[in-house]
Homo-oligomer: A and B are copies of this chain.
Amino acid sequence: MEPLDLWTTHLPAHLRAHGPRIEPRDGVGCLMVEDTVVRRFSSLAKAGAQAKTFAQGASDPEGRLRDLDADGVWGEVMYPNLAFFCCFHIRSPELQIATARVYNDWAADLFIGASERFAPAAVIPVLDVAASLAELERVARRGFRAALLPAHIDTRPYNDAAYDPLWTAAQDLGIPLTFHAGTGRSQTPAHGPGGAVINYVVTVGGPMETVAYLCGSGVLARFPGLRVVMVECGSGWLAWVLHAMDDAYREHHMFVRPKLELLPSEYFRRQGAVTFQHDPVGLANIPFTGDRCLLWGSDYPHPEGTWPNSQEVLARQFAGVAAEAMERIVCRNAAELYRFRLPTC
């Protein structure tokens, strides 16, 4: 959880008026970028209160380590809060990358030095690929071991060859690219009755589509060292997407370009992963997905996350899963992918 004034104090002077900031609108505190209201708090006080509520683990490395220890969690890939909600909505490529840099520096200063158990994901906007590339190389030098890209990029989808330099760099640097549900498109496309339920389902459509783009277009085939992770999207849909991609590839072969050496699903099993916190369907579908492309996460410190009861939630939902598969899914897969040096396993 970033300080509310992070960007108004750290962006280059000429960008500060347009970057992320909390402003009152009709007496309500709003997170704004450029002229867009990204999020409304019920009151200005609540914006401050939210920052405070999360403060213990969200912006205090010592408190966070204590919380992880209490929950039996060794390490974690961490995602931004304000930057998550606003960065990819920014239309100006210059402001977008500058906003990401400020976040990345804050996260590196606060967390990377504090413990190797923290692997914050660097925010990497993709409107200007040359700038994305420069920022990815910069954050690698600063010690980041993960990067966050928008799950959607409607103006230039991920099957565009313009991204090739970025895939090359991520592969060469050994930095997994993560695509978080709810990024790059509206998080609340549905309004009115049932909105909360509908939007939860709809926003996961983002990572599902991203899997199809990266596998079907040949990106993973052409960059065999590239690792990609769909984040906080559950895992229960993965078996179906893998099957559907292969079905389309075989049954619509007359329309399929490019032809691939392997089936689309095989690239994902080799180079992809999805994260979940509580998803019995995904675990039941291990016979279809294998256990290498599943990563458990607690979603700490969110109220819908499993903290501080992660061990109970894990014991319950892994009851029917082989011990070796469980150890992979809750520990080894993530450790290998994000280079966590574990004390034991």
Instruction: Write the residues of chain A forming the contact surface with B, with a CB cutoff of 8 angstroms.
Output: 157, 159-160, 190, 192-202, 204-205, 208-209, 211-213, 215-218, 234, 236-237, 239-241, 243-245, 247-249, 251-252, 255-258, 264, 278-282, 284-285, 287-288, 303-304
Within the complex, what minimum Cβ distance (angstroms) separates A263 from chain B?
10
Which of these, B201, B204, B213, B284, contacts A190 with CB under 8 Å?
Answer: B213
A245 near B197 with CB under 8 A, answer yes
25 CB-based A-B contacts, threshold 8 Å = A159-B192, A159-B195, A193-B258, A194-B257, A195-B216, A195-B257, A196-B216, A196-B248, A196-B255, A197-B212, A197-B216, A197-B252, A199-B248, A200-B244, A201-B209, A201-B212, A201-B216, A201-B241, A201-B245, A201-B248, A204-B244, A234-B244, A236-B244, A237-B237, A284-B287
Given contacts A194-B217, A195-B255, A257-B193, contact A243 B281 (CB under 8 A): yes
Assembly CA distance A282 to B162 (angstroms): 37
Q: Count identical subunits in the complex.
A: 2
Find chain B residues with CB under 8 A from A244 CB: 200-201, 204, 234, 236
B248 near A278 with CB under 8 A, answer no
A190 near B285 with CB under 8 A, answer no
Find chain B residues with CB under 8 A from A160 CB: 192
